[in-house]
Amino acid sequence: MQVLLIEDDSFLRTTLARTLSRQGIQVHQCADGALAVEQWLNLRPDVVVLDLTLPGQDGLEVLSQARAKGLQTPVIITTARGTVGDKILGLNVGADDYISKPFDLDELEARIRALVRRASQMGGGRAGIGAASTQLVGGLSFDEQSGMAQVSGRPLDLSPRESAMVRALMHRPGQAMSKERLFDAVFAGDSDVALDAVEVVAYRLRKKLRDAGCHTQLVTLRGLGYLLQDHVSAN
């Protein structure tokens, strides 16, 4: 497993690299936001650990540029900015997870492995240029780069977890995804969340699709899991 660590604090960067390396994770380091995207392109890591406050270029700008270039590598944002607004902004730009400083090193490692697991389950290896940008199931579309869902061209307001659920299911249109695998995709790194929390997110997503008049349905198959299905085609 290869991780690109984009962090300007030399002590933290060295500590993280040493700790993760002991767990068999190869760590590449970058301390300058202005050089981060180029290094990202060259390395094509499995996960990027990205600080928001960087010299040269802000972490959100780095992430935005990377997504615009088609880089779909899972990203964990690490930052001392702990407000909900900052978290939402990071997730909307294209981050997959968010951990506030100071954080436990074991928790960071667990989140990294969870993201790699999720990418593998969704059919990804190292994500790079050329990855599909927009997924379609019936009247529902999902843009991988922006994380935006639309119903017949109209934006669908989704929470980060609802968006993660759509992203995961869009990779398996018409195929059931088990509750356990969907949990890993939606709650990556959240070890204190119960498995049944998937049902809550699914309920809310199903209601939003219905309220938006979307004929794409989130279907629950007992014993098999969940799938997105075009109701018109199914009939």
CATH of the domain at 86: 3.40.50.2300
Q: Are 198 and 168 in contact (CB under 8 A)?
A: no
End-of-domain residue from the set 89, 121, 153? 121
CA distance 101 to 89: 17
Q: Which domain holds residue 143?
A: 134-234
Q: Same domain, yes or no, for 28 and 57?
A: yes
Domain's final residue, options 121, 145, 160: 121
In order along its 235 residues, the chain shows pLDDT tens digits of 899 999 999 999 999 999 998 888 899 999 999 999 999 998 889 999 999 889 999 999 999 999 888 888 999 998 776 556 666 777 778 888 888 888 888 888 888 988 887 776 665 444 433 344 566 776 788 876 667 788 877 888 888 888 888 888 887 667 788 888 888 888 876 667 888 899 999 999 999 999 988 888 899 988 888 988 876 544 4
- DSSP H or E segment with residue 107: helix 105-121
CATH assignment at residue 214: 1.10.10.10
One domain for residues 63 and 157: no
Decide: 64 and 94 in contact? Cβ < 8 Å. yes
Note if the pTM is more than 0.85.
no
Is 127 a domain residue?
no
Q: Are residues 53 and 97 in the same domain?
A: yes
154 and 48, same domain (yes or no):
no
Q: Indicate if 117 and 6 belong to the same structural domain.
A: yes
The token duo for 163 is: 């968006």
Q: Are 228 and 173 in contact (CB under 8 A)?
A: yes
CB 8 within 8 A of CB 32: yes
Residue 140 and residue 81 share a domain:
no
Do 106 and 16 have their domain in common?
yes
Same-domain status, 143 and 228? yes
184 & 117 share domain: no
Domain-located, residue 126: no
Q: Which domain-ending residue is among 91, 121, 151?
A: 121
